[in-house]
Structure formats: C-alpha cells, structure tokens
Structure 1
Amino acid sequence: MYASVRTYRFSPVYIQEISEKLQDMFVPLLEQMEGFISYDWITTPDGQGIGVCVFRDEEGLRESIHLAADFRKVHFSHIGMTTPEIIVGSVGAHGVVPEQIAPTSKKNREDRPTH
C-alpha cells in the first residue's frame, strides 16, 4: 500500500465548506479510482487541513495527487488555500477495525464483550 499526506493552510472560516465539498464531491471521485483504499480529511481550528490518502499501488496514489491538485484549483481557489506540502511513501503498518464490529452506537458498544 502507498499513502500520501497533504498539508494545507486556509482561513478557518472555510473549514465547513472545505469539508463538505471534499465529502460530497472529492471522495466520490477517489472511490471510482482503481486501487483506492481510504481518504481522511483532518482539520485544526487554526485553519490547517491534512488529507491522508491510501491506495493499493503507487500509480493510483500518484494519480490521486494530480486529482487533488486539480480539485483544489477549481473548488478552492477563491479561499486562498495554499499549495500543499506532500509526503508520499509506502505504508509500513496499518490497522482497521472490521466494519461488522466497529461501534456505531452506544448500544453496540455496550453489547461488545470486554476483556
């Protein structure tokens, strides 16, 4: 697996707009790409955003970086979002809670056995 971490800066007043556009428009584009595994968008109150993208292969990941750059230019040029700092590399460790046992409500958490 390969991952990229892209760090952006922007005015904090745009946090909600950015998050909504990424969820509603960008994530569906990624989901259509070959080898896509996951995408997470993390924001800080002071206007820093971090996009973490994981693909099965390096080629898909590199394509996603170009897609993100085009998306930023089209959808976020009006807010002054910076060109990101980008880190790309192979994933050395990875963990996921299987969906069927992931807690989705208080009731589910109470039903899980404790050890």
Structure 2
Amino acid sequence: MSRSAKYTMVGRYEGMTDPAEAGRRVDEGFVPLLRQVPGFVAYYWVDAEHGVMLSTSVFEDQAGADELVKRAADLVRDNLAPLLPNPPQVTAGHVVAAG
C-alpha cells in the first residue's frame, strides 16, 4: 500500500425525519470529535433527501477509523440516536483510486 493510501467509511442512514437538526448536531458535536482523531482527513454529512443521510469519513489509515468508532459511541448514543431511527448501513475499506 502506498504512503498516500487512505481508509474510508461510508454510512447510510434511512428514516431520518429531521435532517436539519441531525446536521446541526453532527456539525456541533461529532465534527469536533472527528478533528481530534489521529489520522483524520475529511468528513462529509450529506442530505440525500427522502429521509436518507450519508456520511463519509476519510482517514490516513484504518487505525484512525477504528479510533473514531471507539470515541464516538457515547456521543452517538447520547446525542444522535433519537434522530437515527434505523441502524446505519456502514461500508468501509481502503481507497484504491482517487481523483
């Protein structure tokens, strides 16, 4: 794997009833937490409409993604869970091409 290799996690959240509030909570609580994780590169929270939100997290390596999962559990449970009626569909892996 090259030195510039990245690791990405993509989440799909269905059944959202208040995307604006979810966005506010993510921006105010989750994004600051992300920025503290070693290896963090970028994060996007997307309103895909019709009750679907998408998240994309990019890290230098899988260790950063694993650390995020550990650090975020309490925050998600305490602040975001009421807005997330269904468990997310999460896909993760090593980036093999980027533009």
Q: Residue 23 in 1 paired to residue 27 in 2?
A: yes
Runs of 5+ consecutive residues of structure 1 not aligned to the other structure: 96-115
- The TM-score normalised by the length of structure 2 is 0.82
Q: Residue 37 in 1 paired to residue 27 in 2?
A: no
- Going by fraction, where is helix more abundant, 1 or 2? 1
1:47 aligned residue: 51
Q: What is the percent sequence identity of the aligned residues?
A: 30
The one-letter amino acid paired with 2:7 is Y
* Cα gap change, 1:80 to 1:25, in 2 (>3 Å): closer
Please identify the structure whose Cα radius of gyration is greater: 1
- The TM-score normalised by the length of structure 1 is 0.72
Question: Structure with the greater relative contact order (CA < 8 A, sep ≥ 6): 1 or 2?
Answer: 2
Aligned Cα root-mean-square deviation (Å) = 1.6
Match of 1:4 among 1, 5, 9: 9
Match of 1:60 among 61, 64, 83: 64
Return structure 1 stretches of 4+ with deviation > 4 angstroms.
none
Partners in 2 of 1:88 and 1:41 — Cα distance?
16
